[in-house]
Each structure stands twice: as C-alpha cells, then as structure tokens.
Chains A and B, each alone.
Chain A
Amino acid sequence: MRNIFILINRELKTYFYSIMGYVILAMFLLIYGFVFWFLVNAFSNPQNNFNEPITNFFFGTFYYWFILIIVPPLLTMKTIAEERKSGSLELLMTASVTEFQIIISKFAASFIFYVFMWLITIYYFFLLSPHTALDWNMIFVGYLGTFLVGGVFISLGIFSSTISRNQIVAAVISFGLGLLIFSLSFISYFIDFQSVKSVLEYINIMDSTIKFSQGVLDTRPVVYFLSLIIFFNYLSVRILDSQRWR
C-alpha cells in the first residue's frame, strides 16, 4: 500500500510538472466553459421551453461524449509505453514493487487527474445555483457516471499503453478500442431476440451513461463499469508480468 501511494505521488507529478497535463486541462476547461455558456444562453432564452434539467445536457452534449472518448487516451498513452521506451520501466521493475502496484498506481493517478479535471466544472453549478433551482442529487449522479465511464476508458488506455512501445500507438489503440466498445451499444437497437437484447442492454455503455446523466442511479451499470475497470487492469497486470518471458 505504501508503494502504491509513493508511485501515485510520482505519477501525479508527471501530470502537474509537464506541459501536457496543463494543456489537456486548459483545453478541457475551454471547451466546457463554452458548453456551459451555450447551455446558459439556450436555457435563458424565453423562446426555448426546456422541461428537462440542465444536467441532462451538461452530461449529454456532443462535447461530453467527445471528451469521454478523447481525454482518457491522452491521459494514459504515456504511462507504460513511454517508460518502456526510455528504459525506466526496467528501473521501476527492479525496485521492490510488484506489477500490480505499478498498474494500479498508474490507473489511480490518471483517474485522479481526470476526476480533478471534472470537479473544477462543479463551480459552474455554484454559479447557477443563486439563479435557479438545482437538483444536487442529479448533479452528483451525473458526475458519478462521468467518473465511472472515464474509469473504464482510462483502464482501457492503461491496457493499450501496456501492449505498446510507442505512446502514439498506445493512444490510437485505446481510442480505437474505446470507440469500438462504445459502438457495441448500438447493436442492441438492431437485435430482436429478447434474451440477447437484455444482455446487450446490460452492456450498453452509452445508455447506461445517459441514465446517470438523467440522475438515475442504478446498481447494474455501476457493477458493470467497475467490473470492466477491474478486468482491464487485471489484463494489464498479466501482460506486464508476461513480458519478462518474451
């Protein structure tokens, strides 16, 4: 456990000491500032008559999905691939740490940065709250969903980085796989068998995320997302371990 904290601390430094971390953060805030401005304008226009709460849109625009798919590969592409390329992975693996500790701390650090990024946007809701009634429960569930899906894509990103030697390749793989897993969600719309359909609905990442954004807290997607996170991290550990036998 101590090792994991030490490693997370070091990983976080790579985000906060490097221009990369700040660029991602700045671009994200720029885009989300725009989304917020756009939504506030749309809602305050008396011609529009929205019956839905703002969270449905805040966690549901095109920009939201775009960020979900794009940001995790950018955050994770370097993690293992870069260390392998520079040789510092060798240094890490010959200290008294296990493969599990390495993967879990890489995952945790990327996840913490991701959560940090999103948490900054909470202040938009604080800006709104004096002027309109907000359902903080829904906001909370919206963020929870965002973090969980993000966690899935981050663990997928770490996995991609574990199998690559080049960070660009890692980013492309995790982006591609992410998009593919995401697209699995659409299959359920075209299938009629009830049994298959219910399975596909269960693994439908997009619909589950939309439910979160509507403030519906269901345990099934929570369990599903958590198991995906565990699955990808487990794969990464196994692969990192197996690479010494190449």
Chain B
Amino acid sequence: MISVKNLYKNYSGKYALNGISFDVSKGQILGFLGPNGAGKTTTMRIISGFLAPTSGKVFINGMDVFKHPLEIKRLIGYMPENNPIPMDLQVKEYLKFRGMLKGLKRDNLRRRIDFVVEQCRIDSVFNKLIGTLSKGYRQRVGLAETLLHDPQILILDEPTVGLDPAQIRQVRDLIRQIGTERTVILSTHILPEAEAACNCVIIINNGKIQVMDTVGNLNKIHRGAARLHLEIKNNISKFEQALSEFPDITLKKANPISDKHYSYFIESMDYDNVRETIFNTAVKTGCIILEMHREKIMLEDVFIKLVTQEKSE
C-alpha cells in the first residue's frame, strides 16, 4: 500500500533523514516513535507530498507520490503537527470548505459531513467557532476533516499531543475505530499510546530506523530480561549478602516499608532461573518472601534502551 524507499532529506546541509525505508500494508496501524527531532514529521510530510525528499521515493498503491500529486492527495487524509485548523471559522463552515476543496458536492458533501460529525462526536459543537473550542474538540475537528473524503490512508502527526488523559483515551479509541478499515500512520512520543493503538511500530532516531516490528514481537524480544519486584522480611542483611554472590543478579533497594519489612527490585538476564535462586536463597537465610512478581517491560524501556544505546555508540 505505502512503500517508502531509501529517503534522505537534507535541510540546508544537515541530514534530517538518513535512508528511511519501510512498507505499510493495507489495514495496518503504524506507530512512529522517536525523540524530538528524530525525523517523524519530516517523513510524514514527504509521504503526504508536502515536502520533497533530497533522494529516495515514496510509492502509494504503486504510484510515485511526486509524479501524481493530485491523485495521491485524494487517497490521503493528513493531519499536520499541532493541528493547524483556522480559528475564525465555525466547525460547520470549516468542514464545508474543506469538503468542497476535496471535491465533494451537494448531497454527497452533506452526507459525508453528517457522517464524520457523528463518527468524531462533534455534533454538540457543530455551530461553534473553532477558536472557542477546547483542545480535545479541536483535535476531533481536525480528525473529522481528514476523514471527509473517505481516504484509504490517514497520516496523523501527534494526534494526541497536549490532551488530558481522558481526552487522549477518547481520541485514541477514535483512531482505532477509524483505523479498522484504513491504513493509518501516526506519530507520537507517548509509548503506551503506540502500544495501545498500533499493531506495528517503527522507532526512529537521528533520521534512521532503529527498530521496526509488531508491538507483540517487540515485547517478546525483550522478554529474556526480567525485572522482579520482591518483598521480604526477617534476616534481611543475610539475604542481601547471600544474593550478592550471584554476579548476574542485581539487587536494588526500594523504599523500606518498615524496619523489618523491605522491598527490592531485582534485575537479571535470566528470567527462568532467577526466581528459583531467590527462593532458595531466602530459604537458606531464613528469610520470608511476602511477595514476588514480575514487572511488565513496557515499550518505554525498549524505546529508551534503543535510543540511549544509539547515543553511547
């Protein structure tokens, strides 16, 4: 569906993209993750045809984006960074203006406006001035606008930035719902968002793709490493000493719960054996395990690991 081939982008001497290639197939929701200045916006602008790459190509349905700009624009619904919709128009006027620009006429225009207003739940603000809306509603108006011409592809640049948690959840649900029959590319800094909304993730840094995989796979790869949460009481110093003899287990003290009752974080590369070792050590030293559970490794850890790895190289 979308095929990005070896993109380079040079902004006045400095490369913002250093050979980005990936494919997105129909129906996928692709999350674009990366720190500030990684090149997310630049990539999305090139895919949408707003910017030209220095070298490299983008194909959508086999068509070169730069040879068929008008056809491509019809396939794409694009929401730029910061959702720059005009403040001086009413929601109604804005949707009508954009719908007409996108080539919709009379009945069809009315039908599509009704549809997106319902889908994005903005009927209560339909007659209001966009400038008077809350950020969450503006974001939904922006989303509604991208859907007007029923595009096969949605490109959303940080659609949930600056929203409160409840609004983030609502907008995310909306994206997931919209994405059921469309191909979506969205960028974000918020990792749980990518985990929740996307089925595939690209982590990009310094204009290069670090990782591209499904969300499930990413979690699996890093399953080997485990982080346990442990609560024990009695003979604590003995337990600590005994455990310190295992080189591949690191023990970090968390806040003590009381003077006899401690909690720890334990990290090890060997998830299966570390639990047995801890149990045996506790028995040997006469320590009582109150609680031991595994902390879920979030994409966040993966992300931070990958990005900082890159820096230290």
Which residues of chain A have a CB within 8 Å of any CB of chain B?
Answer: 2-3, 6-7, 9-10, 13-14, 17-18, 86-88, 90-91, 93-98, 244-246
Contacts and interface: CB of A to CB of B under 8 A. Distances in A.
A39 to B, nearest CB: 38
Contacts of A6: 97, 100-101
B76 interface: yes
Q: How large is the interface on B (under 10, 10 to 19, 20 to 34, 35 or more residues)?
A: 20 to 34
A2 B200 CA distance: 40
B52 A90 contact: no
Given A6-B97, A244-B50, A14 B88 contact: yes
Interface stretch (B77-85, B208-216, B239-247): B77-85
A91 B76 contact: no
A94 B48 contact: yes
A2 B100 CA distance: 9
Given A87-B81, A88-B85, A246 B70 contact: no
B121 interface: no
B97 A10 contact: yes
B84 A245 contact: no
Contact of B88 (A7, A13, A96, A97): A13
Contacts of A2: 100
B80 A87 contact: yes
Given A94-B50, A95-B102, 19 more contacts: A6-B101, A7-B101, A10-B97, A13-B88, A17-B89, A86-B84, A87-B80, A88-B84, A88-B85, A88-B86, A90-B50, A94-B49, A94-B78, A95-B73, A95-B101, A96-B102, A96-B103, A97-B101, A245-B52
A22 B48 CA distance: 37
Interface of B: 11-12, 45, 48-52, 70, 73-74, 76, 78, 80-82, 84-86, 88-89, 93, 97-98, 100-103
Contacts of A246: 11-12, 51
6 contacts: A9-B97, A17-B88, A18-B88, A94-B78, A96-B74, A97-B101
A94 B153 CA distance: 13
A116 B276 CA distance: 86
Contacts of A9: 97
A96 B85 contact: no
A97 B81 CA distance: 20
Contacts of B52: 244-245
A157 B213 CA distance: 50
Contact of A93 (B50, B81, B98, B100): B50
B45 A95 contact: no
B254 to A, nearest CB: 45
B101 A96 contact: yes
A96 B50 contact: no
Given A90-B84, A94-B73, A13 B89 contact: yes
Contact of A90 (B73, B80, B93, B103): B80
Contacts of B11: 246
Contacts of B12: 246
Contacts of B80: 87, 90-91, 94
A14 B88 CA distance: 7
Nearest to A93: B50
B100 A91 contact: no
A87 B102 contact: no
